[in-house]
Amino acid sequence: MKTLLSALALTTALTVPGLALAKPVTLTTNLNAYGGDGAYLALYVTDAQGTYMGSLWMAGGKAKYYEHLSDWYRATAGNPAEIDGITGASVGAGQQLKITLDLADALFDAGYQLHIDASVEEMRDSPSEVVVPLTTAGAGQPVPGRRYIRDFTYDM
Amino acid sequence: MLRALHKFPGLIAAVLIIVMTLSGAVLSVLPAWEGAQTPARSEPGLTVATLAERVTLTYPGVEQIRRAPSGRITAFYFDNGRPGAVVIDPETGAGVADFEPSAFQRWMTNLHRSLFLGDAGRLTAAAGAGALLVLSLSGLMLTARRVGGWRNIFARLRGPLMGRLHVEVARLTVVGLLLSSITALFMTASTFDLIPQSIGPAFPAEVSGQTGAGPGNIALLRETPVKRLRELSFPYPGDPTDVFTLKTGSGSGYLDQGTGATLVWSDAGPWQRLTETIYMLHTGQGAAWLGLILGLMALGAPFMAGTGVILWVQASRARPRIKGNVAAGQADTILLVGSEGGSTWGFAATLHGALTQAGHSVHVDAMARFAPDRYTNAKRVILLAATYGEGTAPASAKGFLERLETRSEARKIPLAVLGFGDRQFPEFCGYAIHVARAAQEKGWPELMPMATIDRQSPQEFARWGRALGEVIGTPLDLSHSPAIPRSHALTLVSRRDYGADMQAPAAILRFALPKAGVFARLKGRGFGRFAPGDLLGILPDGSPVPRFYSLASGTRDRFLEICVSRHPGGLCSGQLLNLSPGGSVQGFVRHNRAFRPAHNRKPVILIGAGTGIGPLAGFARANRPGRPMHLYFGARHPDSDLFYAQELQDWQADKRLTSVTTAFSRTPSRAWVQDALRADAPRIARLIEDGAQVLVCGGRDMAAGVAEALADILIPAGLTPALLKAEARYVEDTY
CB contact under 8 A, B193 and A36: no
Determine the 3-state secondary structure of B83 from DSSP.
strand
Across the range B602-610, mean pLDDT stands at 94
Give the least confident one: B237-251, B312-326, B415-429: B312-326
Q: pLDDT averaged over chain B?
A: 87
Burial tier of B463 (Cβ tally within 10 Å: 0-12, 13-18, 19+) = middle
> A153 in a domain, yes or no?
no
Can you state the percent helix, strand and coil of chain A, rounding each to 5?
A: 15, 40, 40
Residue B410 has pLDDT above 80, yes or no: no
Pick A37's closest partner by Cβ from B81, B85, B106.
B106
> A52 in a domain, yes or no?
yes
What are A125's strand-pairing partners?
A119
Contact residues, chain B, for A63 at CB < 8 Å: 193, 197
Q: How many CB atoms lie within 10 A of CB B237?
A: 11
Give the pLDDT band (50/70/90) at residue A95: very high
Contact residues, chain B, for A62 at CB < 8 Å: 191-193
pLDDT, tens digit (0-9, with 9 covering 90-100), for B15-28: 899 999 999 999 99
Residue B580 dihedral angles phi and psi, to the nearest 5°: -105, 155
Helix axes B103-114, B118-147, angle to 10 degrees: 70
Give the least confident one: B34-48, B559-573, B692-706: B34-48
Q: Residue B474 CA to chain centroid, in angstroms?
A: 44
pLDDT, tens digit (0-9, with 9 covering 90-100), for B194-244: 888 777 788 888 888 888 888 888 999 999 999 899 999 999 888 888 899
What domain range is A37 assigned to?
2-135
> A150 in a domain, yes or no?
no
Please report which residue ranges of B196-342 form alpha helices under DSSP H: 219-223, 270-283, 288-298, 300-318
Q: How far apart are CA B281 and CA B351, in angstroms?
A: 55
Q: Does B225 touch chain A (CB under 8 A)?
A: no
What is the model's pLDDT at position B163? 80
Residue of chain B nearest A122, judged by CA positions: B101
Determine the 3-state secondary structure of B317 from DSSP.
helix
What is the CATH classification number for the domain harbouring A118?
2.60.40
Distance from CA of B192 to the nearest CA of A (A): 7
Give the pLDDT band (50/70/90) at residue B635: very high
Whether B492 contacts B627, CB under 8 Å: no
Q: Residue B251 CA to chain centroid, in angstroms?
A: 47
Contact residues, chain B, for A67 at CB < 8 Å: 200
Instruction: Name the most confidently modeled range: B89-98, B382-391, B543-552, B609-618.
Output: B609-618
Distance from CA of B181 to the nearest CA of A (A): 22
Residue of chain A nearest B81, judged by CA positions: A146
Q: How many CB atoms lie within 10 A of CB B638?
A: 12
Q: How far apart are CA A119 and CA A29, in angstroms?
A: 14
Across the range B606-622, mean pLDDT stands at 94
CB contact under 8 A, B64 and A37: no
What is the model's pLDDT at position A13? 46
What is the model's pLDDT at position B156? 75
Report which of residues B158 and B97 the model is more confident about: B97
Whether B401 contacts B393, CB under 8 Å: yes
Residue of chain B nearest A148, judged by CA positions: B83
Residue of chain A nearest B254, judged by CA positions: A74
Residue B320 has pLDDT above 90, yes or no: no
Q: How far apart are CA B447 and CA B106, in angstroms?
A: 68
> A27 in a domain, yes or no?
yes
Across the range B312-329, mean pLDDT stands at 76
Across the range B52-73, mean pLDDT stands at 91
Preferred mutation among A32, A51, A52, A64 to probe B, highest tally of B CBs within 10 A:
A64
Determine the 3-state secondary structure of B477 from DSSP.
coil
What is the model's pLDDT at position B649? 94
What is the model's pLDDT at position B17? 92
pLDDT, tens digit (0-9, with 9 covering 90-100), for B526-547: 677 899 999 898 988 877 777 8
> A58 in a domain, yes or no?
yes
Give the pLDDT band (50/70/90) at residue A9: very low
- B216-235 as b/e, with b when 16 or more CB fall inside 10 Å? eebebbeebebeebbbbbbb
> A50 in a domain, yes or no?
yes
Across the range B293-315, mean pLDDT stands at 89
Residue of chain A nearest B239, judged by CA positions: A50
Q: Residue B360 is which amino acid?
A: H
Q: Are strands B362-366 and B333-338 parallel, antiparallel or unpaired?
A: parallel
Give the pLDDT band (50/70/90) at residue A5: very low
Residue B607 has pLDDT above 70, yes or no: yes
Q: Does B106 touch chain A (CB under 8 A)?
A: yes
Give the pLDDT band (50/70/90) at residue A7: very low
Instruction: Give the whole-number percent of chain B exceeding pLDDT 70.
Output: 93
CB contact under 8 A, A124 and B81: no
Residue of chain B nearest A61, judged by CA positions: B192
What are B66's strand-pairing partners?
B74, B231
Q: Residue A33 CA to chain centroid, in angstroms?
A: 20
Q: In total, how many domains does chain A have? A: 1
What is the model's pLDDT at position A20? 54
Burial tier of B166 (Cβ tally within 10 Å: 0-12, 13-18, 19+) = buried
- B416-451 as b/e, with b when 16 or more CB fall inside 10 Å? bbbbbbeeebebbbbbbbbbbeebeeeebeebbebb
Report which of residues A1 and B179 the model is more confident about: B179
Q: Is A122 left (phi over 0), alpha (psi -120 to 50) or beta?
A: left
Q: What are the E-state strand segments in B437-519?
A: 451-454, 488-498, 506-512
Give the pLDDT band (50/70/90) at residue A143: very high
What is the model's pLDDT at position A11? 43
What is the model's pLDDT at position B236? 84
Which residues 85-114 on chain A approach chain B with CB closer than 8 angstroms?
A: none
Residue B317 dihedral angles phi and psi, to the nearest 5°: -85, -25
Please report which helix (H) or strand (E) contains residue B29, including its range. Answer: helix B2-37
pLDDT, tens digit (0-9, with 9 covering 90-100), for B489-539: 899 999 999 988 778 899 999 999 888 766 665 555 567 789 999 989 898
Give the least confident one: B180-184, B291-295, B630-634, B727-731: B727-731
CA atoms within 13 A on the CB side of B497: 13
Residue B593 has pLDDT above 50, yes or no: yes
Cα distances (angstroms) measured from residue B104 to each of B27, B30, B560, B648: 10, 10, 52, 60
- A30-56 as b/e, with b when 16 or more CB fall inside 10 Å? bbbebebbbbbbbbbbbeeeeebbbbb
Report which of residues A93 and B481 the model is more confident about: A93
Residue B479 dihedral angles phi and psi, to the nearest 5°: -110, 105
pLDDT, tens digit (0-9, with 9 covering 90-100), for B81-98: 778 899 999 888 888 888
Cα distances (angstroms) measured from residue B405 to each of B377, B646, B654: 22, 54, 53
Determine the 3-state secondary structure of B435 from DSSP.
helix
Q: Does B107 touch chain A (CB under 8 A)?
A: no
Contact residues, chain B, for A64 at CB < 8 Å: 190-191, 193, 197
Maximum distance among all Cα pairs of chain B, rounded to whole angstroms: 121
What is the model's pLDDT at position B314? 73
Preferred mutation among B59, B63, B70, B246 to probe A, highest tally of A CBs within 10 A:
B63
What is the model's pLDDT at position B474? 87
> A89 in a domain, yes or no?
yes
Pick A146's closest partner by Cβ from B83, B197, B200.
B83
Contact residues, chain B, for A122 at CB < 8 Å: 101, 106
Give the least confident one: B133-137, B318-322, B341-345, B563-567: B318-322
Of residues B653, B674, B650, B670, the one with CA closest to residue B661: B674
CB contact under 8 A, B203 and A74: yes
CB contact under 8 A, B193 and A63: yes
Residue A150 has pLDDT above 80, yes or no: yes
Give the pLDDT band (50/70/90) at residue A12: very low
CA geometry: angle B423, B428, B430, nearest 5 deg: 170
Strand order in the sheet with B95-98: B95-98, B82-88, B73-79, B62-67, B229-233, B243-248, B251-256, B262-267
Name B84's Cβ contacts closer than 8 Å, sequence gap at least 6. Answer: B59, B76, B77, B78, B98
CB contact under 8 A, A123 and B190: no
CB contact under 8 A, B106 and A125: no
Across the range B40-48, mean pLDDT stands at 79
Q: Which domains does chain B carry?
A: 2-35+105-197+284-311 (no CATH), 40-90+199-268 (no CATH), 320-472 (3.40.50.360), 488-590 (2.40.30.10), 604-734 (3.40.50.80)
Residue A141 has pLDDT above 90, yes or no: yes
Of residues B372, B183, B203, the one with CA closest to residue B290: B183
Q: Does B76 touch chain A (CB under 8 A)?
A: yes
Give the pLDDT band (50/70/90) at residue A6: very low
> A144 in a domain, yes or no?
no
Residue of chain A nearest B198, judged by CA positions: A64
Q: Does A64 touch chain B (CB under 8 A)?
A: yes
Q: Does B101 touch chain A (CB under 8 A)?
A: yes
Q: Does A78 touch chain B (CB under 8 A)?
A: yes
Name A6's Cβ contacts closer than 8 Å, sequence gap at least 6. Answer: none
Q: How far apart are CA B343 and CA B420, in angstroms?
A: 10
Of residues B337, B345, B336, the one with CA closest to residue B317: B345
Contact residues, chain A, for B199 at CB < 8 Å: 77-78
